Every structure is written in structure tokens, then in C-alpha cells.
Amino acid sequence: MIKKLAFFAAGAACFFLAGCAGKSSETTTEITEMKAQGTQVADGGLISENGLPMVVDFSATWCPPCQQLKPIFEQLKDEYHGNVDFVSVDVDSVPELAQKYDVHNIPALIFISPDGKEMYRTIGFIPGDSIKRVISQYLD
């Protein structure tokens, strides 16, 4: 019985370590992509490197409303290029950011000022026109 328990514990440890190794790689990739988008992760939060406000999409690949929002988010990213930074954060790849911004439900869009302060937040799917209205409130 003790041998079976030891074998199970060793197997569980290997599974856990393999899972952690994969997560570290995903986190590094996600943060590298954010830096490429002009966003820096500092002190556990997001800061725009170019002084623009940000719209941050906290989502996951397994979330249907998140996937429904993705093409709208990409369209707005192109439309507001140079005026607003659009950053996507996969909550499974970078759970520390989701925790930092107190994200418990997805999709969550968080509007962040150039100095890193949260200005507005939405939870759940939101149409593009509604996102534009919120952006226009903070750009004017």
C-alpha cells in the first residue's frame, strides 16, 4: 500500500511540474506579445510604452463570448491605431494579471489611462458600438 501511495505521489509531482513548465512558457509568450504591442508589464500591472490609453481584453480560448468579441476587438484595434492601444490577455496564460486587475468573469474589458489607472470596466460580451462610445468618452 505504501509503495502504491509513493508511486502515485511521484506521478502527481511529475504531472504538476510538467504543467508548471508549460505554463511558464505560455506566460513568457503572452508577455512578449504584449511588449510587441507597445505595452509593458511593470509592478504587476500594464503600462503603455507610447503614452496612449489602453483597452485590455481579459479572455480565454475556451470562452464562447470571448471568441465572439475577438473579431470586434481586432477591428477596433485597427480603427483606433495610434490613438488607443488594444491588448489581449489570456487569463489562463497570465493569471497574475487577471488577479492584479481583480478579473473574475470574462470577457472583461478594462479601459486604462496612459499612466496605468483603471478608468472603466465592462464584463461580458459588448458590441463594438458600445466600446466606441466608452472610448470616445475618454479620448475627448
Active site residues: 63, 66
Q: List C-alpha distances in Å: 28 to 16, 53, 69, 82, 106.
A: 19, 24, 24, 26, 22
Helix extents (H) in the chain: 2-36, 64-79, 95-100, 128-139
DSSP state of 107: S
Q: Give the separation between CA 113 and CA 57, rounded to whole angstroms.
A: 15
